[in-house]
Amino acid sequence: MSKLLTTTPRQDGFRMPAEWEPHIGCWMLWPERSDNWRGGAKPAQHAFAAVAAAIVEGEPVTVCVSPGQYVIAREMLDPAVRVVEMTNNDSWIRDCGPTFVVNKAGLVRGVDWKFNAWGGLLGGLYFPWDQDDLVGEKVIEMEGDDRYGPNFILEGGSIDVDGECSLLVTEQCLLNANRNPTKTREQIEQELRDYLGVEAVLWLKAGVYLDETDGHIDNFCRFIAPGEVVLTWTDDRRDPQYDISAEAYERLQTMRDARGRPLTVHKLHQPNPALITAEEAAGVDRVPGTLPREPGDRLAASYVNFYIANDRLIMPAFNDSHDEAAQAVLSDLFPLRDIITVPGREILLGGGNIHCITQQEPLGARGAKTVVAA
Q: What are phi and psi of 171, to 5 degrees?
A: -65, -40
Q: Which residues are catalytic?
A: 356
Least Å distance, CB 308 to a second copy, is: 22
Q: Which residue number, 133 or 320, has a Cβ lying nearer to a second copy?
A: 133
Please identify, using beta-carbon distances, which residue of 109 and 216 lies nearer to a second copy: 109
How many residues appear in the chain?
374
In order of 9, 111, 115, 148, 160, the CA distances from 151 in angstroms are 14, 11, 10, 10, 20
Asked if 97 contacts 58 with a C-beta cutoff of 8 angstroms, the reply is no
By beta-carbon proximity to a second copy, the closer residue of 142 and 255 is: 142
- Name the residue nearer to a second copy (CB basis): 12 or 239: 12
The minimum distance between CB 1 and a second copy, in angstroms, equals 4
- Give contact residues for a second copy (rule: CB under 8 A): 1-3, 12, 60, 66-67, 70-71, 74, 79-87, 103, 105-107, 131, 134, 138, 141-142, 144, 364-367, 369-370, 372-374
Q: How far is the CB of 93 from a second copy (least distance, A)?
A: 15
Q: Which helix (H) or strand (E) holds 70?
A: helix 70-76
* Residue (47 or 64) nearer to a second copy, CB: 64
Number of neighbouring beta carbons within 10 Å of residue 319: 9
Residue 328 C-beta: closest distance to a second copy, Å: 33
Is the distance from CB of 301 to CB of 340 less than 8 angstroms? no
The CA angle 54-323-231, to the nearest 5 degrees, is 95
- 29 and 63 Cβ atoms separated by less than 8 Å: yes
At 359 the three-state DSSP class reads strand
The neighbour count for residue 266, using CB atoms within 10 Å, is 17
Q: First vs last Cα of the chain: how many Å apart?
A: 29
Beta-sheet strands, E only, within the chain:
4-5, 23-29, 61-65, 82-85, 99-102, 108-111, 146-148, 160-161, 166-170, 200-204, 221-225, 228-233, 264-269, 274-275, 298-299, 307-308, 312-317, 338-343, 359-362
State in angstroms the smallest separation of the CB of 25 from a second copy.
11
Closest CB to a second copy among residues 104, 237 = 104
Q: Which amino acid is at 109?
A: R
C-alpha–C-alpha distance, residues 324 and 341, integer Å: 10
- Are the C-beta atoms of 369 and 60 separated by less than 8 Å? yes
Report the nearest approach of a second copy to the CB of residue 149 (Å): 13
Q: How far is the CB of 12 from a second copy (least distance, A)?
A: 7
